[in-house]
Amino acid sequence: MSYLGHAFMIIGALFCFLGGLGILRMPDVYNRIQAGTKAVTLGSLSIFLGVGILQPEWWPKLVTITGFLLVTTPVGSSAIARAFLKSGIKPWQKPGTPIQEIEQGLGQGLGQGQEPEK
């Protein structure tokens, strides 16, 4: 049972590391929030599971912490993303994606079904 607990803790540490790496490598704040939130949450849950296997008497506390983490993390990341969006920071888009072409067309006064002149 000790090996299983340690395996979950190592997996959790790996997910936390990958979440930190994602924060460094992603192109904009919205992707960074997503990388940090999802990967680190999964890593934390795995670490809690490993600790719970190693220390069974801690289960009530770990379940409480896990519930708090699962409720507050998505709410907090959504609030931060919404604040960035309201402050005018636009999401990153790969150049040449269809959404950018549509936005350029709307900026030229084109409606649906109209093609820009080339």
For residues 72-80, give the mean pLDDT.
Answer: 92
Which alpha helices (H) appear in 1-118, and where do they start and end? 2-25, 29-54, 59-86, 98-107
Averaged pLDDT score across all residues of the chain: 85
pLDDT tens, residue by residue, 80-105:
999 998 898 888 777 766 665 555 55
29 CB contacts (<8 Å, ≥6 apart)?
A: 81, 84, 89
| Residue 111 confidence (pLDDT) above 60 | no
More confident residue, 30 or 113: 30
- Total Cβ atoms within 10 A of residue 21: 12
Does the reported pTM lie above 0.75? no
Domain ranges of the chain: 2-107
Question: Which residues in 96-111 are b (16+ Cβ under 10 Å) and which e?
Answer: eeeeeeeeeeeeeeee
The first and second tokens of residue 102, run together, are 């549509």
| Residue 47 confidence (pLDDT) above 90 | yes
* pLDDT score for 110: 47
